[in-house]
Amino acid sequence: MEKSKGVVNELQSMKWEKEKLTYEIVDLKQRAQDITFLKVTRNIQEYLACSDNVAFESQKQRELQMLEATIEKMKQRFAEQQTLKENDIDKLQRDNLSIANITLAVDDALQNANVNLYERKNIIDQRSKIF
């Protein structure tokens, strides 16, 4: 009887040890997977986490389409900004030319006014010599 009790206790002990080792194996596998995820890039992590290659490929295709759409929008915005800046440059050049023409006209008028002033001064000097 004691022999059978000892065998039963041994079997129970082995069963518990087997369960303990099973849990340790599961824990070690999880740790190995965690370490693998830590060492690899985000892209590889997503690939490993995804159970189906088709799902992974479709996800990457969606990301690629989103990036291409973003690039196209950025190109369009750049073209619009470039057009606006070119229009601003043209307007500034026209304004600059207009201001330059006005400045030339003012210079001519100022020179004529200056000549008239000297002529007037000469007339006054001539009168003062006469009287």
Residue 25 structural domain = 1-39
> Could you tell me if 80 and 95 lie in one domain?
yes
Residues 17 and 74 grouped into a single domain? no
Q: How many structural domains does the chain have?
A: 2
DSSP string, 70-105: HHHHHHHHHHHHHHHHHHHHHHHHHHHHHHHHHHHH
Q: Are residues 68 and 110 in the same domain?
A: yes
Are 86 and 71 contained in the same domain? yes
> How many Cβ atoms are within 10 Å of 11's Cβ, its own excluded?
10
Asked whether residue 63 falls in the same domain as residue 97, the answer is yes
Domain shared by 29 and 44, yes or no: no
11 and 46 belong to one structural domain:
no
pLDDT, one tens digit for every residue, the chain (131 residues): 777 778 888 889 899 999 999 999 999 999 888 877 776 677 777 777 777 778 778 888 999 999 999 999 999 999 999 999 999 999 999 999 999 999 888 888 877 777 676 776 776 677 667 65
Residues 23 and 58 in one domain: no
